[in-house]
Structure 1
Amino acid sequence: MTTVSLSVPQAAELPEIGAVLDSWQSDSGPLHLHTGDLGWYSLRGAQPTAQALRVWRFGEHIAAIGLLDGEDLLRLSIDPDLSDDDTLAQQIESDVIAASTAVFGPGAAVLEARGAIRLCDRLQARGWDADEPWTTMSRDLSLPVEDPGIRVEIAESDDAEVWTAIHWSAFRGVPYTADDRQRFVERWNEMMSGPFYSQAQSLLGYDDSGLPVAATTVWSAGPDRPGLIEPLAVDRDQQGHGYGKAIAFAAARSLQRLGSSSAAVATPSANTAAVAAYTSAGYVPGAEVRDLRRDG
């Protein structure tokens, strides 16, 4: 019997891992860990991204890929053909619950494992509980997408300060200091030159006066597969004017040009404003999903 092994990859392996993860994306399957998630994480650089990954293999075959998005959150994708495989589920379970540094240390932990049917069953039997609900949303790109109604440009490296300032405003809501700006711009350029960005586009949206008000990055998984929006932001001072809906249209159009079958995004269900903005832009909510949580 072929055993399951766990490894931490090197940066040179990231293109192969990305290609495998691309092949697992399907409109008929769950919105699980996407290559775009690795791309956004690669703000930190290729080697730190590789060190945050956990790869399970059957022999030479990659069977599951996990991203440690922080010390206590593992975002996992499993080969769809192995979602109900008990041997794989048992080994991942063992690695996840072990009081070692292989995946989690002791204490609280969260596992995002949409589609890993057998693994989730096993962990729930061990007492892992449902975490906060998320809403996954998708827009079919086989039909034309509406014009966003604002000017939208593809962001290049020269636009790093503008793009990052919008993101900072939307998600941090605190002053964007010179040190913050330098660090975030360097990281954004690191992402743009990284191993996953060849199938991505960053966009900037402008109001009628030419002021940049919204930003997003979209990630293709290749032709006829769902693409991912990660992230999407509207400047905090410009919210409430429909720019979120507009940039969501623009994101869908960008992914459509890249050949994606659909545009996908996930947001906490508690973020009702985001859910409403995507819904107004033609994104259809799916069933709520919940990660699994182990309390400390």
Structure 2
Amino acid sequence: MATVLTTPGVAGLSETVAVLREWQDDGAPWQLHPGDLGWFWRFGAEATAAAIRTWSRDGRTLAVGLLDGPTLLRLTIAPDAMREEALARQLVADVTEPRRGVLPAGKVAVEAPTGTLFHDLLSQHGWDDAEPWTPLRRDLTEPVPDPGVRIEVAGPECAPVWAAVLRASFDGSTFTDERWHAMAAGAPYADARCLVAYDDQDVAVAVVTVWSAGPGRPGLLEPMGVHREHRGRGHGRAITLAAAAALRELGASSAIVYTPSSNVGAVTTYRSAGFRRLPEIRDRYRDQ
């Protein structure tokens, strides 16, 4: 049977999320998480569906990609197909040739699990290494220490507060209350939580969203931000501990997060909250 490249549409979103949940494993290389789709869902279901590509054979999904912007494809592969040559070669052809409609001509990038044949073959086709990212993981077997600040689970009534802190955490952020509601309406958010940390003056100072992939599977932090006017006071560590505790309550086996290696402050914050630094990963990019 041939491998078929499709855009599943809004009707196929829940199935795609379910597939990604099944693929999550603490022993697997870093890969696309259902929470990545959940965070993208802030743009709405139709935009999320339009950004997804799936590769299937005989009714079974073998690879899922998310166009995180027009020039970046974040792709992962079924655990038992990561070294399959026929699939890897088709994936390379589909992302390399603009006429296939996955990525345009010019400078583009692909994120894929390290160790897959697809990732290896990209380098043989002229794709270079991009800047390094640092993944981090915290085991959730044991209870997580108390964060030492008040933590609130943000529901719809708290969306304006959560959105305001996030905007104040990232330069150029345009996150709005409406985008929070769109994100919360998505299928992945059924097993997610938005948290807000408050300081001793009861001021909202940090936020995070955590995404569970189901009991016994790693859960993702995306995004995490500390208000620019309240940094350097341990709030990043506090909200990160709260995030890990929330994922443990949801049954996650571990909490995972990643950040550009150049963001030394973020790496330090996650490590201070008990996250272990894993080997760096790099996207592949083509500049032509």
TM-score where L is the length of structure 2: 0.98
Partner of 2:32: 33
Shift of 1:101: 5.7
CA contact (8 A) 2:114 2:281 kept: no
Q: Could you tell which deviates more after superposition, 23-32 or 258-267?
A: 23-32
Q: Which residue of 2 aligns with 1:241?
A: 233
Contact 2:94 2:100 in 1 (8 A): no
Aligned equivalents of 2:249, 2:274: Cα separation in 1: 17
* 1:227 counterpart SS class: strand
Q: Choose from 199, 204, 211 the match for 1:212.
A: 204
Alignment of 1:262-281 (within 5 A): 262-281=254-273
2:252 is aligned to 260
Q: Which runs of 5+ in 1 are unaligned?
A: 175-179
Secondary structure in 2 aligned to 1:77? strand
Distance 1:172 1:41 in 2: 18
| TM-superposed deviation, 1:115 | 4.0
Q: Determine which of 282, 289, 295 is the counterpart of 2:287.
A: 295
Answer yes or no: is the 8 Å Cα contact 2:206–2:239 preserved in 1: yes
1:173 shift after superposition: 5.7
Query: Partner of 1:250: helix, strand, or coil?
Result: helix
Distance 1:272 1:220, change over 3 A: same
Bigger drift between 55-64 and 110-119 goes to: 110-119
Q: Tell me, in whole angstroms, the C-alpha distance in 2 between the residues paired with 1:213 and 1:233.
A: 9
The amino acid across from 1:21 in the alignment is: L
Q: Secondary structure at the match of 2:279?
A: strand
Paired residues of 1:96 and 1:103 also in contact (CA < 8 A): yes
Matches within 5 A, 1:126-145: 126-145=125-144
Give, in whole Å, the separation in 2 of the partners of 1:105 and 1:147. 47
Q: Which residue of 1 aligns with 2:112?
A: 113
**TM superposition shift of 1:31:** 2.0
Q: Report the alpha carbon displacement of residue 120 of structure 1 after superposing the two structures with TM.
A: 1.4
Aligned to 1:163: 162
Gaps of 5+ in 2: none
Question: In the alignment, what sits opposite 1:187?
Answer: 179
Q: C-alpha deviations, 1:44-95, integer Å up to 9, x for none?
A: 1111101100000012000000000001100011001000000110111111
Give secondary structure in 2 for the equivalent of 1:136. Answer: strand
CA contact (8 A) 1:77 1:116 kept: no
Measured in 2, the distance between the counterparts of 1:27 and 1:166 equals 31
Deviation at 1:99, TM superposition (A): 2.0
Task: Report the counterpart of residue 68 of structure 1 in structure 2.
Answer: 67
| AA in 2 matched with 1:126 | H
Q: Percent same amino acid at aligned positions?
A: 46
Supply the distance in 2 between the matched residues of 1:101 and 1:210 (Cα, whole angstroms).
53
Deviates more, 1:7-16 or 1:60-69: 7-16
- SS of corresponding position for 2:110: strand
| CA positional deviation for 1:194 | 1.5
**TM-fit CA distance, 1:116:** 5.7
Following the alignment from structure 2 to structure 1, what is the Cα–Cα distance between the partners of residues 82 and 134? 21
CA distance in 2, matches of 1:94, 1:59: 20
SS in 2 for 1:94: helix
Query: Over the residues paired in the alignment, what is the CA RMSD in angstroms?
Result: 1.1
SS at structure 1 position matched to 2:66: strand
**1:165 Cα deviation from its structure 2 partner:** 0.9
Q: In 2, distance between residues paired with 1:81 and 1:213?
A: 43
* Cα distance in 2 between the residues matched to 1:114 and 1:281: 25
| CA distance in structure 2 between the aligned counterparts of 1:91 and 1:191, rounded to whole angstroms | 32
Amino acid at match of 1:282: G
Shift of 1:9: 1.0
Instruction: Compare 67-76 and 95-104 and name the one that shifted more.
Output: 95-104
Distance 2:98 2:222 in 1: 32
